[in-house]
Structure 1
């Protein structure tokens, strides 16, 4: 999870980008922070998928095979 300071810095750079523009160093920092943020979001989403089970109205497990495979791989680790 990103710290509050990093999230604040992302927002600060975004605001500055819209108003006065960023230096090359700030652009690089913004790119790195955004990538870290996206990795965090993707990791959280993947962890959520590892716990998903889809049941149809008849009570049958209809969880997609791709998700089941991911869950099985997770159990092995």
Structure 2
């Protein structure tokens, strides 16, 4: 997860952008922080999905093949 101080800074910059606007340096910082946030979010989401097993009401494994393939690749590495 992204550090709390970075998330707070993203929120500060977003609020400032809505009220008074951002300087060029602040806009660059905001872009960099957002990119870092998205990278972390995607990585966490991918890890979560790769550790999920989907079962139907009868208890049969109905995990999508794409997820199973990703799980197999992860365990082979």
User: Normalising by the residue count of structure 1, what TM-score does the alignment of the two structures yield?
Assistant: 0.93
Superposed displacement of residue 42, structure 1: 0.6
Q: How does 1:25-44 map to 2 (within 5 A)?
A: 25-44=25-44
The equivalent residue for 1:7 is 7
The equivalent residue for 2:66 is 66
How far apart are the structure 1 equivalents of 2:43 and 2:18? 29
Which stretch shifts more, 39-48 or 53-62? 53-62
- In the TM superposition, structure 1's runs of 4+ consecutive aligned residues that sit over 3 Å from their partners are none
SS of the aligned residue for 1:57 comes to coil
SS of the aligned residue for 1:61 comes to coil
SS of the aligned residue for 1:18 comes to helix
| Structure 2 unaligned spans of 5+ | none
How far apart are the structure 1 equivalents of 2:43 and 2:10? 19
User: Normalising by the residue count of structure 2, what TM-score does the alignment of the two structures yield?
Assistant: 0.93
The Cα RMSD (Å) is: 0.9
